[in-house]
Chains A and B, each alone.
Chain A
Amino acid sequence: MEEEEIQKAVVAYLRKKGFTNTEHALQEEQNRVSFSSNSDHSVSRLENGPVRYSDGYSKLRLWAYSSLDLYKHELLRVLFPVYIHCFMDLVAGGHVHEARIFFHTFREDHESMHLRDLQKLEGILSPLHLEEIELSRSFRQNKFKIKMCEYSYDLLLQYLQKTQSFTMRGVINEHIDFEVSPGQPTLSSGDADFVTIEGRKNDLARQINQKEIHWGLLEDSLEQHLERPKRPLDGGKQGIPVKMVKKDKLVSMVGKNVRSETSAVSVAPRVKPELTLPATLVEVEQAILEDLRSRVQLNNLALPSISFYTFINTCNRLNCSSISQDGSLVAGGFSDSSLKVWDISTIGQLVKTSSLQGEKESAKNENFPATEERRKPYTLFHGHSGPVYSTTFSPFGEFLLSSSSDSTIRLWSTKLNTNLVCYKGHNYPVWDVQFSPVGHYFASSSHDRTARIWSMERIQPLRIMAGHLSDVDCVQWHANCNYIATGSSDKTVRLWDVQSGECVRIFIGHRSMILSLAMSPDGRYMASGDEDGTIMMWDLSSGRCVSPLVGHSSCVWTLAFSCEGTLLASGSADCTVKLWDVTASTRASRMESKSSSSNRLRLLKALPTKSTPVYTLQFSRRNLLFAAGALSKCS
């Protein structure tokens, strides 16, 4: 046959030239072809496949583990992507049983680092499932990016060439991008930083993260109002010598003109609001100014006082709670779809003079019969038809929003004790709802993988933010109201421009679902807490993680920045409130921003509660910290 002749010729040529390796490869290939030539070609490949994968992988693994210590940890990084893709290739090829065996044989290697991913992938049992699970889809569509030094890369290439393992080579070529850096191998710590899912989506993320954002505070904010009247007042009151006053005046005169520019450069740039902001009432403004004046300065030496509101007898039915700015109202959302609001200022009186108080209040609002009112120290809001997952008070405490699994958001008036509006728009349970810092607008996030912006007077959403690959679990407004941040079960946090509805930042780094978000008052940083108890601090402008905070052992339900942004408080399911020093960590990171983010936020204090998981934290304008949680009896 002609073909055989050609083959012979080729082999002879290879021998003559001394290409033994190629010759072997050719022979191997030939054997395989000849072996399978009896049966159907494709079937033979499929049968051969599974063994190839597990053999190839186990050889690669053995090699990586027995490599030089200096380069070992870099080479080991290759294993996880290869492992995942081998598994998915096997499933995609229909070798479900072999895939299972393969998966379980090598599972232990990766459990410590990627347990949650493994748990999700474990369920994949047919090619169809590969398409359905977003995690596997993202693995398939994107590439892993692995950083390694030159020599490690050479080692790997040599190995792949020597062993002739085409399968492994194929997998690695297809799914892994190497970022080869000259010089010494990196230190073994922080594996997560070096194995990231890169690819189309990540290019996108990088592209997105290069967009400009204006994280500065709003112009003409009340805090500025406070600073302005202070100066002449101080000068007049303290009777500073005339020269000083003159100077002061000069400075203030100049300051008025210049401040907008200088402060914008040095301290915090001011930006114009993109939304039309609601006008604040004069008396409200006065109250806020009063609060700002009597604010306690907090820093790493002066820690806040914490008032803790404990919900008792909740029978595990409390899903969420929120506290108004001044701490006078506490709302609890329950799984029996009820919403209860306690007025803390009257709690003590209600017990003592319950009858008197009750009659008064019942006369005021006719919604509830007098008898009921007398018995209950709280106001009950009925309206939802499913568990209430989130509540939020408007900045001045006159409105309350609640979101529920019945996919609606309801607006309640705390003055009238009644439901005002029901916002329907989401198609699935609404996990979170948050009022904007100025009120009037609010953002919601839902199981339908969208976040929406609403205004109180419209029953339709103003914007829909779509892009997350999984549930949007939490939402938070930026201090200047121009952005919202959303945390999702796809382990990313995104920042959206409210005006355009575009995603302007993607923050990748968490290893499990995001549960809580907080924005620093200066608008520059964002903190996010996840299911594992990790808190990450992000620089909004660069989109990079400033420092991961490790300390909590369970879900971080809530995060809050103090009013000057010096402290971060976190509340967790491990029954502690922890206080972190923000300034120390950000300062440190600014100085050595280029180096690895090994510096950690300093934990100032851990305050354990008595078996009460902390559901919510709220700094008042005077820097008193309010916390709430439901007592869970474990005895």
Chain B
Amino acid sequence: MSIVPKETIEVIAQSIGIANLSSDVALALAPDVEYRLREIMQEAIKCMRHSKRTVLTAEDVNSALSLRNVEPIYGFASGDPLRFKRAVGHKDLFYIDDRDVDFKEVIDAPLPKAPLDTAVVAHWLAIEGVQPAIPENTQVEAIVAPSENKKSENSKEDGLLVDLKLPVKHVLSRELQLYFDKITELTVTRPESILFKEALVSLAADSGIHPLVPYFSYFIADEVARSLNDLPILFALMRVVRSLLQNPHIHIEPYLHQLMPSIITCVVAKRLGSKITDNHWELRDFSANLAASVCKRYGHVYHNLQSRLTKTLINAFLDPSKALTQHYGAIEGLAALGTSVVRLLVLPNLEPYLQLLEPEMQLEKQKNEMKRKEAWRVYGALLRAAGKCLYDRLKLFPGLLSPPRHPVWRINERVATSQSNKRMSSTNLSMQQPPLKKVAADGPTGALQPIAMTANLQGAPDGFPARSSGTGVGQPSTSGQVPMKTTGGRQEKGGSVAPKGSAVLAQAWKEDLDAGHLLASLFQSFGEGVFSFIQPVEMSFFI
């Protein structure tokens, strides 16, 4: 009936030398033993409370015993919790695991370190009711780094704070560290390998790498700054950035401020890569698209993101002292941001810029072939940007070119212009001819290829452009321009055919919408190169 069974009493009696305890006595004693036990526990709990503790210790039981004038029980050092073991073969019999200690071992053991002495440290739990975010207080926010000035405030306690754990410890698991090390190593050493491609896929999809984002962004910023001369690495880094941006599980917004400069560097840097053969143009295009995609995705979060980016780019674009490579990057960047950006920022500056660019592209004025080549590149980029803009406009106003009368009329005009063009070119007046040829070569690259290709279909399929002296890159061109090119290819001194043509066009399109003006002005600037951006069906009307 009591939780202390009769048998326990008998065992205890035996242990203190009473062999023949009658079971009646044991039965009578059992409830009293339980009662006394409870009494002692009640007193022990009082002692515990007055020691301002919530855990009962052996010490409390001993002081409760001494309260009742009972000899305390020795040998149960408090401190660490006692370890009980279950007796073999018994369900509810426990004993304390009391190991035999070799006396010699104890003597030979070195003295343990003296425990640290009790000390008092002071801190502000609250200042006018608000908890300051210092290491001594619990963290209200998730991560609050202990700032320097706060440290100095508490400098007088610093000496005593030794064994207070610093709260802000960003713990990275071993796996994540390994992962990070592997990825960075791959990026730097073997950007061409298949493994790196796998890594990029993992970066774009893995849900658990969020803790690594700050490290990656730092790594990218650091590495871009360091390896401006190493194109493969730069490309690899930009690919890593793209993968990170693609990853839907990570929040990269807080680190964009660190990543954006690196991306922009890869767009508008003066020199990227060390060798002449390095195709840094491709990297610029890639990075420009990356920057534009960042703007598209996070522009609503950071309102000044796009404005800052465009400002940077337009500054690079309009600064004549900057290298042509930088201009190219800037144009590409702006073009990637969309046609409206191009229309608002690039087109107004188009004419003055082209005048600036013109001498660079001419063999006579620019003897350095490298430079000339660059100038052609820039020209191509401009044309592409403007052309895309035009294409967009024309798509907006599909009716523009549809009236049945006009096409015919226009074709006539077109023919006229081309004829005049031919005529003029023969008089060595065509200034715009070389650009056209260039455009023909450059036109089909990148995003515009499909258009150009469709344009290609209607012309002679075998129309391959002759390799002009200026362009090193042979690319399929639109056959529509072939005749002009072949004729104009030799006309290095371009005449003013285009202005004439454009004047005709402008006259013809007087009644049309601004898209017409746009086309006109573009034609004025680029000559017939722009026609590759007009939709194929319309194109057919032209030719």
Residue positions of A touching B, CB distance < 8 A: 96-97, 100, 120, 122-126, 129, 302-316, 318-320, 330, 332, 334-335, 340, 342, 344, 347-348, 351-352, 375-378, 386-387, 389, 405, 428-429, 431, 447, 471, 473, 489, 513, 515, 531, 554-555, 557, 573, 577, 579, 604-605, 607-610, 613, 615, 627-628, 630-631, 635
Of the residues A307, A330, A613, contact of B125 by C-beta under 8 Å: A307
Of the residues A313, A489, A557, A627, contact of B119 by C-beta under 8 Å: A313
Contact assessment for B34 and A351 in the assembled complex, using a CB-CB cutoff below 8 Å: no
Contact assessment for B122 and A607 in the assembled complex, using a CB-CB cutoff below 8 Å: no
Complex CA–CA separation, A191 to B47 (angstroms):
31
B 340-368 to A, binary, CB cutoff 8 A, 1 in contact else 0: 00000000000000000000000000000
User: Which residues from chain A contact B59 at a C-beta distance below 8 Å?
Assistant: 335
* B77 at interface by CB-CB < 8 Å: no
Additional pairs, 18, CB under 8 Å, beyond known A96-B1, A303-B130, A471-B46: A129-B35, A306-B126, A307-B122, A307-B123, A310-B121, A310-B122, A312-B160, A319-B50, A335-B59, A347-B120, A347-B156, A431-B50, A473-B50, A515-B49, A531-B49, A555-B52, A557-B52, A630-B52
User: Which residues from chain B contact A609 at a C-beta distance below 8 Å?
Assistant: 125, 137-138
Contact assessment for A303 and B2 in the assembled complex, using a CB-CB cutoff below 8 Å: no
User: Which residues from chain B contact A555 at a C-beta distance below 8 Å?
Assistant: 49, 52, 54
Complex CA–CA separation, A489 to B42 (angstroms):
11
Of the residues B1, B120, B136, contact of A311 by C-beta under 8 Å: B120
* B255 at interface by CB-CB < 8 Å: no
Contact assessment for A313 and B118 in the assembled complex, using a CB-CB cutoff below 8 Å: yes
Contact assessment for A319 and B52 in the assembled complex, using a CB-CB cutoff below 8 Å: yes
Contact assessment for A125 and B32 in the assembled complex, using a CB-CB cutoff below 8 Å: yes
Complex CA–CA separation, A100 to B30 (angstroms):
14
* B116 at interface by CB-CB < 8 Å: yes
Complex CA–CA separation, A516 to B131 (angstroms):
25
Interface residues of B in 156-179 (CB under 8 A from A): 156-157, 159-160, 163-165, 167
User: Separation in Å of the A631 CB from the closest CB of chain B?
Assistant: 8
Given the contacts A305-B124, A307-B125, A126 and B51 also touching, CB distance less than 8 Å: no
Contact assessment for B51 and A125 in the assembled complex, using a CB-CB cutoff below 8 Å: no
User: Which residues from chain B contact A332 at a C-beta distance below 8 Å?
Assistant: 118, 120
Given the contacts A303-B128, A609-B125, A377 and B31 also touching, CB distance less than 8 Å: no
Complex CA–CA separation, A579 to B127 (angstroms):
13
* B117 at interface by CB-CB < 8 Å: yes
Given the contacts A335-B51, A389-B51, A610-B137, A123 and B127 also touching, CB distance less than 8 Å: no
User: Which residues from chain A contact B91 at a C-beta distance below 8 Å?
Assistant: none
Contact assessment for B121 and A312 in the assembled complex, using a CB-CB cutoff below 8 Å: yes
Interface size on B, residues (CB 8 A): 51
* B21 at interface by CB-CB < 8 Å: no
Closest B residue to A386 using CB positions? B63
Complex CA–CA separation, A570 to B122 (angstroms):
19
* B537 at interface by CB-CB < 8 Å: no
Complex CA–CA separation, A457 to B202 (angstroms):
82
Complex CA–CA separation, A579 to B39 (angstroms):
37
Complex CA–CA separation, A334 to B164 (angstroms):
21
Closest A residue to B59 using CB positions? A335
Contact assessment for B138 and A342 in the assembled complex, using a CB-CB cutoff below 8 Å: no
Contact assessment for B35 and A307 in the assembled complex, using a CB-CB cutoff below 8 Å: no
User: Separation in Å of the B501 CB from the closest CB of chain A?
Assistant: 79
Complex CA–CA separation, A306 to B123 (angstroms):
9
Complex CA–CA separation, A579 to B125 (angstroms):
13
User: Which residues from chain A contact B117 at a C-beta distance below 8 Å?
Assistant: 313, 375-376
Given the contacts A311-B118, A344-B122, A123 and B39 also touching, CB distance less than 8 Å: yes
User: Which residues from chain B contact A310 at a C-beta distance below 8 Å?
Assistant: 120-123, 136
Closest B residue to A126 using CB positions? B31
Complex CA–CA separation, A344 to B157 (angstroms):
11
User: Separation in Å of the A129 CB from the closest CB of chain B?
Assistant: 5
Q: Give the one of A310, A607, A627, A628 with max B CB within 10 A.
A: A310
Complex CA–CA separation, A564 to B386 (angstroms):
77
Q: Give the one of A335, A340, A344, A352 with max B CB within 10 A.
A: A335
User: Which residues from chain B contact A340 at a C-beta distance below 8 Å?
Assistant: 118
Complex CA–CA separation, A513 to B49 (angstroms):
10
Contact assessment for B121 and A309 in the assembled complex, using a CB-CB cutoff below 8 Å: yes
User: Separation in Å of the B70 CB from the closest CB of chain A?
Assistant: 14
Closest B residue to A557 using CB positions? B52
Contact assessment for B2 and A315 in the assembled complex, using a CB-CB cutoff below 8 Å: no
User: Separation in Å of the B243 CB from the closest CB of chain A?
Assistant: 38
Interface residues of B in 108-149 (CB under 8 A from A): 115-131, 136-138
Of the residues A125, A308, A376, A630, contact of B34 by C-beta under 8 Å: A125
User: Which residues from chain A contact B130 at a C-beta distance below 8 Å?
Assistant: 303
Complex CA–CA separation, A123 to B138 (angstroms):
42
User: Separation in Å of the B80 CB from the closest CB of chain A?
Assistant: 11
Complex CA–CA separation, A99 to B447 (angstroms):
92
Complex CA–CA separation, A97 to B47 (angstroms):
32
Contact assessment for A627 and B52 in the assembled complex, using a CB-CB cutoff below 8 Å: no
Contact assessment for A314 and B118 in the assembled complex, using a CB-CB cutoff below 8 Å: yes
Closest B residue to A631 using CB positions? B164
Complex CA–CA separation, A377 to B121 (angstroms):
11
User: Which residues from chain A contact B129 at a C-beta distance below 8 Å?
Assistant: 302-305, 579, 604-605
Closest B residue to A611 using CB positions? B138
User: Separation in Å of the B164 CB from the closest CB of chain A?
Assistant: 7
Complex CA–CA separation, A310 to B167 (angstroms):
16
B 252-289 to A, binary, CB cutoff 8 A, 1 in contact else 0: 00000000000000000000000000000000000000
Complex CA–CA separation, A100 to B121 (angstroms):
52
Given the contacts A351-B160, A447-B46, A609-B138, A330 and B120 also touching, CB distance less than 8 Å: yes
Complex CA–CA separation, A630 to B57 (angstroms):
17
Contact assessment for B122 and A309 in the assembled complex, using a CB-CB cutoff below 8 Å: yes
Of the residues B52, B116, B120, contact of A309 by C-beta under 8 Å: B120
Closest A residue to B121 using CB positions? A310
User: Which residues from chain B contact A125 at a C-beta distance below 8 Å?
Assistant: 1-2, 31-32, 34-35
User: Which residues from chain A contact B42 at a C-beta distance below 8 Å?
Assistant: 120
Contact assessment for B123 and A308 in the assembled complex, using a CB-CB cutoff below 8 Å: yes
Interface residues of B in 1-53 (CB under 8 A from A): 1-2, 31-32, 34-35, 37-39, 42, 46-47, 49-53
* B82 at interface by CB-CB < 8 Å: no
Contact assessment for A610 and B136 in the assembled complex, using a CB-CB cutoff below 8 Å: yes
Contact assessment for B53 and A316 in the assembled complex, using a CB-CB cutoff below 8 Å: yes
User: Separation in Å of the A286 CB from the closest CB of chain B?
Assistant: 27
Contact assessment for A305 and B126 in the assembled complex, using a CB-CB cutoff below 8 Å: yes
Contact assessment for A347 and B138 in the assembled complex, using a CB-CB cutoff below 8 Å: no
Complex CA–CA separation, A324 to B157 (angstroms):
20
